Structure 1
């Protein structure tokens, strides 16, 4: 994979609120002829499609018992997510549509929202999607920095008449801890926004695997689906940049900034590209502007901590990793390296605490296994 480790992607559940109509993407935004045909079926037409297996589960005695005892909204949620027959698990490795999530019995936050909505639609419930204003959470994957926002949904019975007799009763379905989710503000999302987010995620996942043709078509589809979704322009620009199409990348970044001038993620991607293109002064000005909005970019203290680890300054590394943990208390990699630094300093209690938190907050089985293997390797190297 090409070494563009500093590229930032506001993705994986990045949300956008409902807004006035947005002009379509400029006609010169796309470069279809420079990419091969996609290996995937690109689109969101089947995003909420129910399969025969899903309908069979709806018709099962166990499902009907949940609905009968708890009502449609709570019964649906418990039937899907209680540790019973389905045992659907959280796994951030791949974004899936409703049918794929049901078949795999696993999905990331967006996938679980999509599958829950598909079942709710089949039951005739009213579904509302929401962007939860929890702030960006950053992670790394395949040489890319990924920013994740959060979505949830509410379920309610559809009114039986046009006469309102009181406030609508609804159930919020969220994959954050309930005490955390309840305290956060939300903004409404429409189904079009959810579809664009899904396609943007698929683009990023393809790019992580160095499948640039697939990534291009998914990003293109996301931009076309929802021209107001700035993250999709950023993703498209990163695809162009990795493909070596610098002018198209610059065009996509600048279009994103025209529509959202304070977007620091786009600024920090465009600035080094401008430097590579010989536009040094503009690049420096853009970096200064980004720094004035966000002085410490994602992974700032983490990268400093890794440098401290490389020179065996474990005390400094421990302090720097601790700063990142305070900024992102649920990110597994920060906890893991804080645990490693603590282990190097002989602070085994703190090491055990943070490595346990790394395992607890890890969103894939692969990373949990990796953390355990790294820990055993480090223990073997330590003097007895």
Structure 2
């Protein structure tokens, strides 16, 4: 999913996985006396709509929209507009719907759950979707990386719409798929567990991450994060078991492969280290989007020749992604290869039959 230190930044908001740096220490010493582990909320508690929010929804949305499409559009605008909830994006904290309403901010998961809860209040067939991996571009930091991602789906009259509140997602490796409320709750537990882990609350993090994998035994990011927690708790064998469970469900999961190689390096297990290092290299080389990220990194460093090599490899692996051709055209232009640049741009134009429709002034989209 992602490597190096970027993942620590995005693991929380993107329902992703934490890489475990060596030595296994997170932000200094762990808290010696963490807060007691609170009882974990059930799904109905996480998505509960407070009465005051329900009243606002009625007066600002439901009384002014009649068709399902109008209600879907108005709910997004209600969440984002200054005259509505004016929600702000906050990367660091995963909130319930009530907490999102109270704080007027939330991350990817919080925004998605709030939309789904409000859409259901409006009588829409709304649900959470997950994209296995997404390319995320942080403009302020000038970084691009892979992360897990969730958004919302709505079924209206035989059509399926996608409502995505994450502006920074460039592309997803697979189309988003509808998931059950139980799996969405597993995402929520995983995110909150990662946040507790970052804050040094090992008991709280353990409770949440174990609940996540108990709900969804094949939820790989939570198994990976549980491995990180166990290693930091001085349980290397238990950490190894968690990583191996993750890889049973998804052998090509890069964060887990990276963490497992780090563990074997710490333990001095040379044979296992070499084995999983080979796997990690093979996965990275065969993934077009990871090659695209590597190309972007080299381009950012001014290494245009190496950047072009990675972009062209990405094109060779997946020749129907217009962004790959746009990146290649950009490098060809820098290198003075104007004919190649024009051919790449023409190919990008031919592939970019984008049917996205902007549904609000803020630029968030609904896809059919």
Q: Please give the TM-score of this superposition, normalised by the length of structure 2.
A: 0.64
Residue in structure 2 matched with residue 13 of structure 1 by the alignment: 14
Question: 2:80 and 2:300 mapped to 1: Cα distance?
Answer: 43
SS in 1 for 2:65: helix
Residue in structure 2 matched with residue 117 of structure 1 by the alignment: 116
Encode CA deviations 1:106-131: one digit per residue, 9 max, x unaligned.
11111101011111222221113222
* Gap change, CA 1:222 and 1:82, over 3 Å in 2: same
Question: 1:6 and 1:117 mapped to 2: Cα distance?
Answer: 29
Residue in structure 2 matched with residue 67 of structure 1 by the alignment: 65
Residue in structure 1 matched with residue 259 of structure 2 by the alignment: 269
Residue in structure 2 matched with residue 77 of structure 1 by the alignment: 76
SS in 2 for 1:281: helix
* Gap change, CA 1:76 and 1:138, over 3 Å in 2: closer
Alignment of 1:153-232 (within 5 A): 153-156=152-155, 167-177=157-167, 185-232=175-222
SS in 2 for 1:210: coil
Shift of 1:184: 7.6
Encode CA deviations 1:77-101: one digit per residue, 9 max, x unaligned.
2222233232111221211111111
State the superposition RMSD in angstroms.
4.1
Larger Rg: 1
Encode CA deviations 1:261-305: one digit per residue, 9 max, x unaligned.
22222121111212322322211221122112214989x979x99
The answer to whether the Cα contact below 8 Å between 2:197 and 2:229 also exists between their aligned partners in 1 is yes
* Gap change, CA 1:72 and 1:318, over 3 Å in 2: same
Residue in structure 2 matched with residue 311 of structure 1 by the alignment: none
Question: 1:6 and 1:180 mapped to 2: Cα distance?
Answer: 16
Question: 2:249 and 2:108 mapped to 1: Cα distance?
Answer: 27
The answer to whether the Cα contact below 8 Å between 2:90 and 2:105 also exists between their aligned partners in 1 is yes
Residue in structure 1 matched with residue 223 of structure 2 by the alignment: 233
The answer to whether the Cα contact below 8 Å between 2:258 and 2:280 also exists between their aligned partners in 1 is yes
Shift of 1:253: 1.0
Residue in structure 1 matched with residue 340 of structure 2 by the alignment: none
The answer to whether the Cα contact below 8 Å between 1:44 and 1:199 also exists between their aligned partners in 2 is no
Question: How many pairs does the alignment contain?
Answer: 280
Question: 1:76 and 1:276 mapped to 2: Cα distance?
Answer: 50
Residue in structure 2 matched with residue 42 of structure 1 by the alignment: 40
The answer to whether the Cα contact below 8 Å between 2:134 and 2:169 also exists between their aligned partners in 1 is no
The answer to whether the Cα contact below 8 Å between 2:13 and 2:191 also exists between their aligned partners in 1 is yes
Shift of 1:177: 4.9
The answer to whether the Cα contact below 8 Å between 1:236 and 1:249 also exists between their aligned partners in 2 is yes
* Gap change, CA 1:181 and 1:121, over 3 Å in 2: farther
Q: Please give the TM-score of this superposition, normalised by the length of structure 1.
A: 0.61
The answer to whether the Cα contact below 8 Å between 1:257 and 1:266 also exists between their aligned partners in 2 is yes
Unaligned 5+ runs, structure 1: 16-34, 140-145, 158-166, 306-314, 328-384
Shift of 1:251: 1.2
Encode CA deviations 1:30-78: one digit per residue, 9 max, x unaligned.
xxxxx98843442433111121222221233x33443259732222222
Residue in structure 1 matched with residue 320 of structure 2 by the alignment: none
Unaligned 5+ runs, structure 2: 17-32, 139-144, 315-368
Shift of 1:198: 0.9
Residue in structure 2 matched with residue 58 of structure 1 by the alignment: 57
* Gap change, CA 1:317 and 1:183, over 3 Å in 2: closer
Question: 1:251 and 1:316 mapped to 2: Cα distance?
Answer: 38
* Gap change, CA 1:137 and 1:246, over 3 Å in 2: farther
Is 1:135 aligned to 2:125, yes or no? no
The answer to whether the Cα contact below 8 Å between 1:109 and 1:151 also exists between their aligned partners in 2 is yes
Shift of 1:12: 4.0
The answer to whether the Cα contact below 8 Å between 1:129 and 1:151 also exists between their aligned partners in 2 is yes
Residue in structure 1 matched with residue 360 of structure 2 by the alignment: none
Question: 1:188 and 1:148 mapped to 2: Cα distance?
Answer: 18
Encode CA deviations 1:141-160: one digit per residue, 9 max, x unaligned.
xxxxx952222212345xxx
